[in-house]
A = this chain, B = another copy of it.
Amino acid sequence: MNLKHEMRVLGVDDSPLVARDVLVVGALFRGAEWLDGVMRTYLTRDGLDATERIAEMMCSSKHHTQMRAVLLDGITYGGFNVVDIHALYDSTSVPVIAVMRDFPDLESMHRALQHVSEPEHRYSLILKAGGFTKVITRDETRPLYIQTAGIEPEDGAHIVRRTTLHANIPEPLRVAHMISSAMVLGESSGKA
């Protein structure tokens, strides 16, 4: 591993919903193996501030200019707080790759959104995020699906594969999840 030339990729995940303010953690990796930095922010459960809060966290980081991409765990955070991945790219200049473990069921998402404010606005952000690209990482039977902003899907898929090591999700997302769940629950919960 040549650390100097490894690309920096940020993984961002939220934590279990226990309060109105939801902890969100960013884990910045060099390549797939070296954790270079950790950051956190809070956003509102079922709110409309996910894009803004995550953009603020990224832009105020000392690592901001080095970030090659940001990996999101899907595009809804803190319940139904939907990230506008194109606006996130526009405000951070960092390419965005939203990673999903299952092909999203848009119809049931649309139904679920009816329980919170501005369902059609939220749904429009999900649709606006664009088509889904299938990515095979380590296990052919468990593909991932990505939506991207500011980067071609093939390049996004390449970054996802490059940062995926022993688990079935990229290391930055795996570690961001461990940290955020441990802070709220006392110990990290699994996700692999």
Q: CB-CB < 8 A to A186: which residues of B?
A: 39-41, 57, 60
Bound complex: CA A37 to CA B177 (Å): 10
Q: Does A98 count as interface, using CB distance less than 8 angstroms?
A: no
Partner of A187, one of B61, B182, B188: B61
Partner of A188, one of B33, B37, B57, B166: B37
Q: Does A7 count as interface, using CB distance less than 8 angstroms?
A: no
Give A184 Cβ to nearest chain B Cβ, in Å.
9
- Whether the Cβ atoms of A3 and B166 lie closer than 8 Å is yes
Q: Does A38 count as interface, using CB distance less than 8 angstroms?
A: yes
Copies in the complex: 2
- Whether the Cβ atoms of B178 and A34 lie closer than 8 Å is no
Partner of A178, one of B38, B60, B188: B38
Q: CB-CB < 8 A to A57: which residues of B?
A: 186
Q: Does A113 count as interface, using CB distance less than 8 angstroms?
A: no
Bound complex: CA A124 to CA B145 (Å): 58
> Beta-carbon contacts of A155-184 to B below 8 Å, as 1s and 0s?
000000000001000000001001101110
New contact pairs (12) apart from A37-B188, A39-B188, A40-B183, CB-CB < 8 Å: A25-B182, A35-B35, A37-B187, A38-B178, A38-B181, A38-B182, A38-B183, A40-B186, A57-B186, A60-B186, A61-B187, A179-B179
Q: List 11 A-B contacts (CB under 8 A).
A: A3-B166, A35-B175, A37-B182, A37-B187, A38-B178, A38-B183, A39-B186, A39-B187, A40-B186, A40-B187, A179-B179
Report the 3 A-B pairs with minimum CB-CB distance, sorted nearest first.
Answer: A38-B182, A38-B188, A39-B187
